Amino acid sequence: MTNQQERDPQKQEVNRQRHFAFRLNIFFFCIFVLFSVLIVRLAFLQFVEGDELRALKDKKTTRSTPIPPIRGNIYDRNGFPIAQSVSTQSLYYRVQPNQDPDEVISLARRLSNLFMRVKENNPKTKTMTAAEIVEAMDVSFDINKQLRTPIIMYSEPRRIKTDLTREEIAYLVEHRDDFTDLEIMEESIREYASITDDALEADGAVQEEHIAVQLVGYLKEYSGASDLEIYRNHAGEYLNTETVGMDGLELMYQERLRGQNGTKLYQINAAGKIVPGDVEVIPPTKGDNLYLTIDADVQLATQRAIANNLDKLRNDPFYTSINKTGTKAMAGYAVAMEVAGEDAGKVVAMASYPDYDPEVWRGGRISQRNLDEYQLVMRNGTIWNNWAPVLDDDERGRHPGSLVPLGSTMKSLSILVGLNEGVIQPDSMYRDTGRFEFGRDGSSIRNSSSSALGNLSPRSALTKSSNTYMAAMIGEPLYKKYGPDEVLDVWDSYMEQFGLGVRTGSGLPGEIAGKKDYLDVDQMGSELASMVFSSFGQGGRYTALQLAQYTAVLATEGKRLKPTFVNEIRSADSELLEQPEPVVLNEVDMPKEYWELVRESMMEVYQYGFEGFPYPVARKTGTSEQSVAGGIVENAVFIAYAPADKPKLAVAVVVPEGGYGAYGAAPIARDIFDAYDKVYGLYDDEPGTSADDSGDDTPS
């Protein structure tokens, strides 16, 4: 019966309608329940939580933007500003998520056109191409919409351009509604001192000089400097657009100069949008100020002396006729270091020439054109092996760098070593025939011009600069005394005590220790050959700062002074924070009579350019030979300290490919002494004081 009813179509239709009506009732019931809950919730929100929600709607929070710190200034020892932070207006761009490339590129082109238009009326302002602006925006694409990897930190705005002109600012402010993602911010920027010298002209244009450029260093945006270890340790502290020290004292004293970040606080609503109102600014803290040991007047005189003498080496008929190997000289390096009392170790001048205008790094960026032009002269050649300043790769390889052998300036040290080791005595005599043979293969060395100098004592051998005396009486005897296994270690120990082959302790970033060629026995030929050539200055290559430190050891009778560059560190409020004192790195213990013998010998050296010098001076020239590109070049080297009877200033000069030291380097040193004497006085602290020179400018 039941099966028959289930097969009845009419009854089946009745059952389906009954089930559908039931499900429809359930559906409407659920809708009623949900609607009732919604009505109750809305009533609760309005009558119970209404006041609280209205308060939340009006509640504001803040968003902060960091402000780069104000960098401390750098002054010379007399307070002349060499590098200082000045206020400027800069244009920033705030990166937004999901940017439309077309809109960004259009903005960049509009800004580029603005900068170009302003330059027509203000030639000194910098322009930027649209591509450069897009790159500065640090978005995820370039001008051609090609994908790139940005440094995405949305909270940190990107600096597009510094030093906005009044015309640029006025246009941007007038069209602020069109530039909603741009912001003009006041910030500090680095300016480096330049001196206009009417006497220096090129093609009728007055030239500007800069002060100790490579020593002071330059600044670069942190985003391009973060690979340096000092900055990796502060990754969360620095801003990507902040400028930081990249070389020289700017890098060495980065943490003292930097200061602390400031903050700009904006009010934002619940939707995260900035609302009109006051902006709270917590100003950045200015860094400490450095007062250097450098004297601006002496430094400029040093730079000019190098430039003038290089011009003479290349163009003056007298120089070119008597110093033919110096006609290709194109660079020079000089260091002047004080050696007396509380000033011991203070570097009063350090010149690496040619230099460059540090303003090419203004704002922490440099154009590719400027980088290509100046990359060979940006490093400090007095502490580093600078390449010759020649842009052509092939031609540059035909010239020496700034690291050169000492030549005959080594002979003062050789005499001291010979005396201290007992291989010579103060009265040891040697007959100089102009040539000395050594070794089983009959190798030989000669004096300059193969001159036979006759009977020589240590004193006259140094005065007349005998290569053969140094080799026969010191180099070879030391080899015989210690043998091949020990002699180079003994020699190396003396070199390092005098500051040769080790860093000077200056702390300058990038300083090198020089090259101990005498330890490369395969290159030198043998241990004996190493000693022979080293004895007259052809066994190692050293920097100008090392040479100045070595000269100071001679002047102080054994004290190796740490070169210092900072007299004082003061706060922004002029409070004295630090005043470095002289540091003696090591002392060379030798009998006083040895030091006096060397001093008296150096005083008897005749030196072109020192005629009429009003003080007794101890000096030594050097003409070192160097193999470059298969040929031999001659480098001019010179050391001196004065007054010889009461040393106050030690000077070292290196002119690669400058020929004879007497013409290529010595005149530069004379100008340095004169400049220092004019300002400070070499005797009795009275500028320009005269004294008799005891006739030691008479040719030997």
Buried b (16+ CB within 10 A) or exposed e, 425-449: eeebebebebebebeeeeeebebee
- Structure tokens belonging to residue 84: 């200082």
DSSP assigned state of 277 = S
Question: d(Cα 527, Cα 521) in Å, to the nearest integer?
Answer: 6
Q: Is the peptide bond before 354 cis (omega within 30 degrees of 0)?
A: yes
The answer to whether 670 touches 609, Cβ cutoff 8 Å, is yes
Q: Read off the amino acid at residue 457.
A: S
The answer to whether 452 touches 428, Cβ cutoff 8 Å, is no
- Structure tokens belonging to residue 628: 């470059």
- Structure tokens belonging to residue 83: 């590098």
pLDDT at 691: 42
Helix (H) or strand (E) holding 90: strand 81-93
Alpha helix ranges (H) inside 227-327 = 229-232, 248-252, 254-258, 296-315, 317-322
CA distances, 389 to each of 259, 372, 546, 664 (Å): 36, 12, 22, 18
Question: d(Cα 484, Cα 153) in Å, to the nearest integer?
Answer: 63
Strand partners, 431: 455
pLDDT at 47: 65
pLDDT at 197: 59
Q: Read off the amino acid at residue 221.
A: E
Torsional class of 657: left (φ above 0), alpha (ψ -120 to 50), beta (otherwise): left
Half-sphere exposure of 153 (CA within 13 A, CB side): 13
Coil, strand or helix at 515:
strand
Could you state, in chain order, the average pLDDT of each consecutive group of 10 residues for the chain (700 residues)? Answer: 57 69 75 77 67 58 74 96 88 80 88 87 82 84 79 68 86 83 81 71 60 95 82 77 92 93 71 62 89 97 97 95 93 98 97 93 84 93 95 92 97 98 97 94 90 96 96 97 97 98 97 97 96 97 98 98 98 95 97 98 90 94 93 96 97 97 97 96 68 35
Half-sphere exposure of 382 (CA within 13 A, CB side): 33
Please tell me whether the overall predicted TM-score, pTM, comes out greater than 0.85 for this model. Answer: no
Largest CA distance in the chain: 151
Question: d(Cα 82, Cα 76) in Å, to the nearest integer?
Answer: 7
The answer to whether 236 touches 222, Cβ cutoff 8 Å, is no
DSSP assigned state of 607 = -
Residue whose pair of structure tokens reads 């002109």 in the numeric block: 165
DSSP assignment string, 28-66: HHHHHHHHHHHHHHHHHHHHTSHHHHHHHHH--EEEEEE
Burial of 30 (0-12, 13-18, 19+ CB in 10 A): exposed
pLDDT at 695: 35
What lies within 8 Å, CB to CB, of 39 at 6+ separation is none
- Structure tokens belonging to residue 587: 């002392």
Question: d(Cα 367, Cα 679) in Å, to the nearest integer?
Answer: 39
The answer to whether 584 touches 553, Cβ cutoff 8 Å, is no
pLDDT at 63: 67
What lies within 8 Å, CB to CB, of 407 at 6+ separation is 536, 537, 538, 621, 622, 623, 624, 625, 635, 637, 661
Buried b (16+ CB within 10 A) or exposed e, 251-284: bbbbebbbbebbebebbeeeeeeeeeeeeeeeeb
Helix (H) or strand (E) holding 220: strand 219-221
Question: d(Cα 32, Cα 47) in Å, to the nearest integer?
Answer: 22
What lies within 8 Å, CB to CB, of 78 at 6+ separation is 295, 296
pLDDT at 528: 97
pLDDT at 269: 60
Q: How far apart are the first and last CA of the chain?
A: 149
CA distances, 585 to each of 294, 358, 502, 506, 625 (Å): 21, 33, 12, 11, 31
Question: d(Cα 505, Cα 546) in Å, to the nearest integer?
Answer: 10
What lies within 8 Å, CB to CB, of 613 at 6+ separation is 642, 670, 673, 693, 697
DSSP assignment string, 551-588: HHHHHTTSEEEPPB-EEEEE-TT--EEE-----EEEE-
What is the signed CA dihedral for 449, 451, 457, 461, rounded to 10 degrees?
-10
Nearest-5° Cα angle at 316, 315 to 322: 110
| Neighbour count for residue 510 (Cβ, 10 Å) | 13
pLDDT at 699: 27
Strand partners, 631: 628
